[in-house]
Amino acid sequence: MLSMGLLVSCSDDEGDLGTGEPDAQTYETQVYLTDSPVDNAEVQGVFVTVAQVMINGQAIEGFEKTTIEVSSLQSGEAELLGSLDLESGTTSDITLVLDNETDASGEAPGNYVLTTSGEKKALTSSSNELSLGDNVEIHESNDNAVVLDFDLRKAVVTNESGEYSFTSDNRLSNSIRAVNSIETGTITGNVSDFGTASADAVVVYAYETGAYGESETSADEEGLRFANAVNSTVVAEGSGDFELHFIEEGDYELHFVSYEDTDADEQLEFKGELEAASATDVDLDLLDLSVDANTEVNLEVVIIGLLNL
């Protein structure tokens, strides 16, 4: 999906004429935006207006303010924001600048939820500059692509009156995961049997191995469950397919969770965690999966039932 035919930008042969030192070699690095889904049946789309992206204090050259329906960027889809030349090594800072006031067409608001009834509900944050918690490794390669994974499930909250808002600035910054795509793999799968479990939606959450605890099923002070999940996605109704993209190389565990609209308010309520197992002869443990860069882990899953009934 990501077409990264990138050119290496080498230093000038004569170096820095003022100091006699050679210029550092840089590599053209593309920057993308993607999304993990929001689990609210009333939400038709989430639109975010990006005013600028800066890495190591350097802005994307020639960038023009753009409004993106980030909720449409799922299943590996990503929006190219631009590119910039970076030296190899770990980035020192990544900043995403949003425009809370107006979108790319000059209309208010800049960031908003579009409900299924066609209503725009503004999303604002107290600061429009989000300093992301992740830094990424830029390789001596022509394939670097920094992907900013905007986890809307963590970023957008709903109050008791049904109004939407961005979460606190610290959590909002941490809800955007930054990775270099050449260091990531993919987890795909199919739920072929839901057993006795009935649900309006099933969501699969990916955690780094050992990072999951029972407290994850409880809502925190902002009403968020499964706050420490690295990534999540909805299991497709009907087909049972699911995809988790841009997963950094490492070991992970998957947790499948049932949701239902119990009070017919078009919002999904947490029902419980599901007991799941591999449905193939291959000895795969859903709580101990190894993901390698540039590889795909494919799973066949069967749901046995609800846990802790």
* Residue listed under structure tokens 């929001």: 38
Q: Are 308 and 273 in contact (CB under 8 A)?
A: yes
Q: Are 265 and 240 in contact (CB under 8 A)?
A: no
pLDDT surpasses 90 at 194: no
- pLDDT at residue 101, as a whole number: 94
Ranges 155-159, 263-267, 284-288, 296-300, most confident: 296-300
Tens digit of each residue's pLDDT (9 = 90 or more) over 269-307: 889 999 999 988 667 899 999 999 999 999 999 998 888
pLDDT surpasses 50 at 135: yes
Count the alpha carbons within 13 Å of 89 in the hemisphere toward its beta carbon: 10
pLDDT surpasses 80 at 220: yes
* The dihedral formed by the CA atoms of 233, 231, 166 and 51, expressed in degrees to the nearest 10: -100
- pLDDT at residue 44, as a whole number: 86
- The token pair at 142 is 């022509």
pLDDT surpasses 60 at 159: yes
pLDDT band per the 50, 70, 90 thresholds, residue 23:
low
Q: Are strands 164-166 and 156-158 parallel, antiparallel or unpaired?
A: antiparallel
- pLDDT at residue 24, as a whole number: 76
- Burial pattern 40-68, b for ≥16 Cβ within 10 A else e, equals bebbeebbbbbbbbbbbeeebeebebbbb
Classify residue 159 as left (phi > 0), alpha (psi -120 to 50) or beta.
beta
Q: What is the DSSP letter of 63?
A: -
pLDDT surpasses 70 at 229: yes
Overall average pLDDT of the 153-180 stretch: 86
CA distances from 152 to 39, 45, 114, 203, 246 (A): 9, 10, 13, 14, 16
Higher pLDDT, 27 or 75: 27
Q: What is the pTM of this model?
A: 0.85
